[in-house]
Chains A and B, each alone.
Chain A
Amino acid sequence: MPIIDWANFTPINSLLGGVCIGLAATIMFMANGRIMGISGILGDIISFKEKDQISWRIVFVLGVLMGPFVYLLMFQDFKSEMVADTTLLIQAGLLVGLGTSIGSGCTSGHGICGISRLSIRSTVATFIFVISGIATVYFIGGKP
């Protein structure tokens, strides 16, 4: 029987965080007409795709690294509890990298940007990775 975890429910923060992510995607699209997909941007950097486009990609990555620092400056701390040990982190990382490159996108590229431009492919992809994630957590047992 599903139980909602009200103690950790943060709809307002999550919604406002989503709004920031949406604004970031909008700003990027307005600036250079690119989809803000992190797996794509990282993959393009490491595979040297479109060499003349590497600077904005690196600058964006640096910005993402700075984002949590800005948050820390404003709100002192945030919660981040790892759920995997080293072995599992390696396995999960490999799967995320393989999956997002073969599937052409991740939560940001398909889930936010793709659905927002009403892409059927992205909607299907998002549905599949969410269901697959739910099934995985179901089988490994989730948080006690």
Chain B
Amino acid sequence: MINLIIICFAGILFGFGLTLSGMLDPSKVQAFLDITRNWDPSLIFVMVGGIIITFIGYYFILKRQSPLFSDVFHIPVHKHIDKNLIGGSALFGIGWGLGGLCPGPALGIMSYNFIPALIFMSAMLIGLFIGRKFK
């Protein structure tokens, strides 16, 4: 139970951080990707802040034998750069550019702009489901 409360808190913090950062604004995301015209570089700072904190956090947590509520750390084991990684990421980038939404913000924005977010989210879940079958 305490595990779930902590995870819920992490989710709230994530959703709050996305909102504060500007990631829930598709027009800002597009302006971030629009480097040849009216470029808004703000979202670089989301990555900078996120990576610095997560890097430090992971570094110290991995000194432990295990996390608090699981026997092991669940870290992806794949090492190869394959066609799926490259092709999938390229497809994702196209969708990200077209809609200005990636999965986290698409979820967060459901609480604010429900109808468009629901349309995007439904299509995204279908894509997620089909993509897993394909892989």
Q: What residues of chain A have their CB less than 8 Å away from a CB belonging to chain B?
A: 2-5, 8-36, 38-39, 42-43, 46-47, 55-56, 59-72, 78-84, 86, 88-104, 106-108, 110-117, 119-121, 124-126, 128-138, 140, 142-143
Among A3, A33, A140, chain B packs the most CB atoms within 10 A around the CB of A33
Interface SS majority for chain B: helix
Q: Select which of A19, A56, A100, A142 is within 8 A of B53 by beta carbon.
A: A19
What is the count of residue pairs linking A and B with beta-carbon distances less than 8 angstroms? 517
Return chain A residues, CB-CB under 8 Å to B18.
Answer: 17, 21, 64, 67-68
Residues 1-39 of B, flagged 1 when their CB comes within 8 A of A and 0 if not, give 001101111111111111111111111101101111111
Assess A2 versus B129: contact at CB under 8 Å? Given A92-B120, A93-B124, A100-B103: no
User: Chain B: how many interface residues by the 8 Å CB criterion?
Assistant: 114
Nearest-CB distance from A24 to chain B (Å)?
A: 4
- Please provide the chain B residues from 46 to 82 with a CB less than 8 Å away from any CB of chain A in the complex: 46-58, 61, 66-70, 72-76, 78-81
B47 touches A28 (CB 8 A): no
Q: How far is the CB of B72 from chain A (nearest CB, A)?
A: 6
Q: Write the residues of chain B forming the contact surface with A, with a CB cutoff of 8 angstroms.
A: 3-4, 6-28, 30-31, 33-58, 61, 66-70, 72-76, 78-81, 84-104, 106-113, 116, 119-132, 134-135
CA of A132 to CA of B93, assembled, Å: 5
Q: A96 — nearest CB in chain B belongs to which residue? A: B95
Instruction: Report Cα–Cα, A62/B10, bound state, in Å.
Output: 10
Give the distance in Å from the alpha carbon of A122 to the alpha carbon of B101 in the complex. Answer: 19
Contact B16 A138 (CB under 8 A): no
Which residue of chain B has the shortest Cβ distance to A92 in the bound complex?
B99
CA distance A22 to B112 in the complex (A): 23
Q: Which of A25, A93, A111, A120 contacts B120 (CB 8 A)?
A: A93
A residues in contact with B123, CB < 8 Å: 89-94, 97
